[in-house]
Amino acid sequence: MRQLRRTMLFVPGNQPGMIKDAGIYDQDSIMFDLEDSVSVLEKDAARFLVYQALCSIDYGSKELVVRVNDPTTKCGIDDLEAIVRTQKAIIRLPKTENAQDVLVCQQEVERIEAENGIPAGSTKMMAAIESAAGVLNAKEIACSSKRLVGIALGAEDYVTDLKTRRSPDGIELLFGRSMILLAARAAGIDAIDTVYSDINNEEGFRQEVELIHQLGFDGKSIINPRQIKTVHEVYTPSQKDIQKALDIVDAIEEAHRKGSGVIALNGKMIDKPVVARAQRTLDLARAVGVLREGGEI
pLDDT in tens, 4-15: 999 999 999 999
| The predicted structure's pLDDT at residue 183 | 98
> Which CATH number belongs to the domain containing residue 70 in this structure?
3.20.20.60
pLDDT band with cut points at 50, 70 and 90 for residue 296:
low
Domain C-terminal end among 195, 212, 235 = 235
What domain count does the chain have? 2
Confidence of residue 292 (pLDDT cuts 50, 70, 90): confident
Please indicate, yes or no, if residue 294 is contained in any of the structural domains. no
Checking if the pLDDT of 161 tops 80, the result is yes
pLDDT tens-place string over residues 235-286: 999 999 999 999 888 888 777 787 666 676 776 778 888 888 989 999 999 9
pLDDT at 270: 80
- DSSP state letter for 201: -
Residue range 142-164: mean pLDDT, rounded:
98
At 163 the pLDDT is 98
For 192-227, the pLDDT digits (tens) are 999 998 999 999 999 999 999 999 999 999 999 999
Is 138 contained in some domain?
Answer: yes
In the chain, what is the straight-line distance between the N-terminal and C-terminal CA atoms, in Å?
18
Which of 42-51, 112-121, 173-182, 252-261 shows the lowest per-residue confidence on average (mean pLDDT)? Answer: 252-261
Q: Note whether residue 259 is domain-resident.
A: yes
62 Cα distance to chain centroid:
12
Residues 186, 258, single domain; the answer is no
| Domain's final residue, options 193, 217, 235 | 235
Q: Is residue 297 part of a domain?
A: no
Measured CA to CA, the distance from residue 97 to residue 138 in angstroms comes to 8
Here the contacts of 197-202 (C-beta below 8 Å, separation 24 or greater) are: 197/156, 197/223, 199/223, 199/224, 199/226, 199/227, 202/230
Distance from the Cα of residue 41 to its chain's centroid = 29
* Stated pTM of the model: 0.92
Separation of alpha carbons 21 and 24, rounded Å: 6
Does 276 fall in a domain? yes
Q: What is the DSSP string of 278-294?
A: HHHHHHHHHHTTSS-TT
Instruction: Tell whether the model's pLDDT for residue 2 goes beyond 80.
Output: no
The string of pLDDT tens digits covering residues 82-134 is 999 999 999 999 999 999 999 999 999 999 999 999 999 999 999 999 999 99
What residues pair up with 127 in beta bridges, in sequence order?
A: 93, 151
CA distance 17 to 8: 18
Strands (E), the chain: 7-12, 29-33, 63-67, 90-93, 125-129, 148-153, 190-193, 219-222, 264-265, 268-269
The predicted structure's pLDDT at residue 218:
97
pLDDT (mean) for 37-59: 97
Q: Do 179 and 99 share a structural domain?
A: yes
Same domain for 211 and 76, yes or no, is yes
Q: What is the rounded average pLDDT of the residues 14-36?
A: 97
Q: Answer yes or no: do 231 and 246 share one domain.
A: no
- In one letter, which amino acid is 131? S
Range of the structural domain that residue 49 is part of: 7-235
Cross-strand partners of 65? 31, 90
